[in-house]
Structure 1
Amino acid sequence: MRFDLVDLQLFVAVADSGSITHGATRAHLALASASARIKGLEAGLGVSLVRRRRRGVELTAAGESLRDHARLIMQNVAMMQGDLAAFASGVKASVHLLANTSGLSEHLPRALAAFLRENPDISLDVEERESTDIVGAIAGGAADLGFAAEHALPEHFERFSFGEDRLMLVAPKRGEFSGRRQIDFVDVGNHDFVGLTNATALAMHIAKHATRLGVRLHVRARLRDFDAICRMVAAGVGIAVVPEAAARRCAQSMPLTLLAIRDSWANRRLVICARSFKSLPKPAKFLVEHLRKVAR
């Protein structure tokens, strides 16, 4: 059968809202037209896609499969439109990359800057996400590539190692942690913290494991970058958890004590990942080749 993009857009809207009425509104269609289009899809495919309930609809197994495929198709259409529109502004291609907090702030900037210098016809759309969210977005076709902690990836994802991301505790140079080299995170629960803003992926990662350990974080200040956090720590506001690269860089100019966190969640292998490197668009393949070369 021939698929109409309007039908697919409508079906995704219905699936997301759980209602034909709300889906029709999102797709800017009349309810009667939307209902007829859903029935037409079911007739053409020969399967039921939704179960109609008193309050909305729920997807059948076939409906869930169609929803996933339709999302990929609509994403590819949007990417096609974006790439074609970019020709008018002189940019010939773009790559959508998702990265966790450490990757975005510490590991990727220099590598991506070099790539952009070497490839003036390619633009990058880089977005910060938690590693588990990156997996979901790539699986759903919402991004080309991911920079994530390997532990969050499913087995079928392709990946290659980019580096290690060890989280460290930073404390004032002169304080109770002076002279110590390692610590268990559960032992710092009664201290004031300086942290990242709640929206960042790393802040959510730390908070999740603190909750699991029963550690209640008393955050005195939240800032958006590691240098500012370390300056607060050096001034005696509290302690903080930051990536090792940022901790060691800041310790060169600030009075800080660095402690390795013994918990396993504080040691992460960072990888570049995709559903399939071979199936990526050419611009994304170029970026993959560049990142392979600069990976440590």
Structure 2
Amino acid sequence: MRFDLTDLRLFLNVQETGSITAGAKRSHMTLASASERIRGMEDTLGVPLLLREHRGVEPTPAGRTLAHHARVVLAQMDRMRGELDHYGLGLKGHVRVLCNTTALSEYLPSVLGEFLKDHPRVSVDLEERLSHEIADALRAGTCDIGVLADSADLHGLQTRTFRHDPLTLIVPRGHALAERAAITLAEVADEAFVGLVEGSALQEHIAHHARRIGKVLSYRVRLRSFDAVCRMVGQGVGIGIVPRVAALRYGRAAGVQRVALADDWAVRDLVLCVRSALPAYAAELVAYALRGAPATGEPVSPVFSDGPVQTRNPKRPRQG
């Protein structure tokens, strides 16, 4: 049985995308070449690896077994490249990070900007997902690092507190609700809302908790950024729910007031998670991300790194 790394990576891409066409595109090869490689793998093993259906493909039991071992092999190769990168400039690292809405818009841009400037041979694939999807992806081994709300099921993951991230209600200045010290979602669920575009992880999170109390929130307008949400609320279009850090950043200029949300689900932390040991360059990204973390006294788990971490050109001391 002879499978090369290209075969293994192609098969994982097909399995993750649910399509040979999409897997071929992600692998930067033609559909014909990808189909031929997968057929060759099946011929070599003597069993089908994929169930080909009208809407895509599903892995067979043999395919799921192959995907598991392919992830192990490719992860080990990434660790090797990361460690050898410390001895020369000929190798390059790639880190896949999944994160929720707040991490993507408020925290990770500055972390990644600093990290990528200091590590010119490392690239980062950053994607927004719902927190429970991120946890599942980490457990499945389809990403390296996740930044998600601590309300998700974190079983089997190594975690560190990344940032405190409570949600807050924002209302226009002078609004009747502005006099309240705290309020629950149930009390405002019938108000007109301003929110983020459909599909954003935060809006799905809020909608989930609205459904739990038997409510469907009504949105007058959906926008692409917290800044735009705050400005629209400030103009009296409706009320909104945003991370407190966003309300502090944009609220004064937008003309909004904050009202604390009393619901337990609104008081949350963002956590940085990994499933197992990381290549050295990915562990360095973790170190950069945790510099601004709150001081919780949590020990740094050794599985965050599978090799010596050498943080290059640090700009400020690490905290927490």
TM-score range normalised by the length of the shorter chain = 0.7 to 0.9
- What is the CA–CA distance in structure 2 between the aligned matches of 1:225 and 1:54, rounded to whole Å? 38
State the match for 2:223 in structure 1: 223
State the match for 1:168 in structure 2: 168
State the match for 1:282 in structure 2: 280
Contact 2:171 2:258 in 1 (8 A): yes
Give 1:79 shift.
11
Give 1:220 shift.
0.6
- What is the CA–CA distance in structure 1 between the aligned matches of 2:165 and 2:17, rounded to whole Å? 38
When residues 272 and 58 of structure 1 are mapped into structure 2, their CA distance, relative to the original with a 3 A threshold, is: closer
State the match for 1:136 in structure 2: 136
State the match for 2:183 in structure 1: 183
State the match for 1:150 in structure 2: 150
- What is the CA–CA distance in structure 2 between the aligned matches of 1:272 and 1:111, rounded to whole Å? 13
> 1:85-106 CA distances to partner (integer Å, 9 max, x unpaired)?
xxxxx99433322211101111
Q: Which runs of 5 or more residues in structure 2 are unaligned?
A: 25-29, 82-89, 295-320
Taking structure 2 as the reference length, the TM-score comes to 0.72
> 1:58-90 CA distances to partner (integer Å, 9 max, x unpaired)?
766554322333356568889999xxxxxxxx9
> 1:110-141 CA distances to partner (integer Å, 9 max, x unpaired)?
33333234334433332222112222333333
Contact 2:169 2:261 in 1 (8 A): yes
Residue 101 (structure 2) pairs with residue 98 (structure 1) = no
Q: Which runs of 5 or more residues in structure 1 are unaligned?
A: 43-47, 82-89
- What is the CA–CA distance in structure 1 between the aligned matches of 2:293 and 2:171, rounded to whole Å? 30
- What residue identity is the alignment partner of 1:212? R
> 1:157-187 CA distances to partner (integer Å, 9 max, x unpaired)?
1111112111111011112202101111011
When residues 7 and 95 of structure 1 are mapped into structure 2, their CA distance, relative to the original with a 3 A threshold, is: closer
Contact 1:177 1:257 in 2 (8 A): no
Taking structure 1 as the reference length, the TM-score comes to 0.77
- What residue identity is the alignment partner of 1:168? T
State the match for 1:202 in structure 2: 202
Aligned length: 282
When residues 117 and 5 of structure 1 are mapped into structure 2, their CA distance, relative to the original with a 3 A threshold, is: closer
When residues 30 and 106 of structure 1 are mapped into structure 2, their CA distance, relative to the original with a 3 A threshold, is: closer
Give percent identity, aligned residues only. Answer: 42
Contact 2:3 2:41 in 1 (8 A): no
- What is the CA–CA distance in structure 1 between the aligned matches of 2:98 and 2:187, rounded to whole Å? 33
Give 1:293 shift.
2.4
Runs of 4+ more than 4 Å apart: 4-20, 23-31, 33-37, 48-63, 71-81
- What residue identity is the alignment partner of 2:279? P
- What is the CA–CA distance in structure 2 between the aligned matches of 1:259 and 1:57, rounded to whole Å? 48
